């Protein structure tokens, strides 16, 4: 089981954590394409900007943490 906890921060600073496999695609606003979440940049800058992810509701968020899921729901 390679489920990982991914924590995102929205523009107002709110955090949300979801569980997904590293292969699950998320839409990268920076790349204009779907990217496996395990390949999203976080906690570092690329080209002087953090990678922005678009949620299913059209909101822009950034990935701030990724850690192995401990099995609890």
pTM: 0.81
Span 35-63, pLDDT tens digits? 999 888 765 566 667 789 999 889 999 99
pLDDT mean over 5-30: 94
Give percent of the chain above pLDDT 90.
Answer: 56
Q: Which pLDDT score, from 0 to 100, does residue 43 have? A: 55
Task: Enter the tokens of residue 17.
Answer: 């954590």
pLDDT greater at residue 72 or residue 73: 72
pLDDT mean over 11-19: 94
């Amino acid at each position: 089981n390679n489920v990982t906890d991914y924590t995102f921060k929205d523009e107002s600073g709110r955090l949300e954590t979801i569980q997904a496999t590293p292969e699950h695609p998320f839409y990268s606003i920076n790349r204009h394409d779907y990217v496996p979440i395990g390949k999203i940049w976080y906690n570092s800058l690329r080209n002087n900007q953090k990678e922005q992810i678009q949620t299913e509701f059209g909101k822009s968020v950034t990935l701030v943490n990724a850690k192995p899921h401990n099995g609890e729901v």
